[in-house]
Amino acid sequence: MVTVKLLAVLKEYAPDDGIIELEFSPGMTVADAIAKTDVESTDIKYSLLVNNARTQPEDVLEDGDTVMVMPLLAGG
């Protein structure tokens, strides 16, 4: 099982308050998991974390991983 958590304003792009549980399959990437959400249909820029560590879309997931999609913040 892989958990995808959409944070802040991205929550609206997934059911269950921004949490999606996906069946794990070997070779599954972060991009594969994100494709199961509607996040890519937005213009919102975001960063990706797996188990609280920065990651890239092409990184391969392991069973039990948690992918967090966090919108980028601007300011100064």
The encoded tokens of residue 4 equal 């995808």
CA end-to-end span of the chain? 38
**How confident is residue 63, by pLDDT bands cut at 50, 70 and 90?**
very high
Rg (CA), the chain: 12
**How confident is residue 16, by pLDDT bands cut at 50, 70 and 90?**
confident
The encoded tokens of residue 65 equal 């991983």
pTM over 0.85, yes/no: yes
Query: What are the residue boundaries of the structural domains of the chain, listed by start?
Result: 2-71
Average pLDDT (30-55) is 92
Task: Evaluate if residue 76 carries a pLDDT over 80.
Answer: no
Q: Is CATH 3.10.20.30 correct for 2-71? A: yes
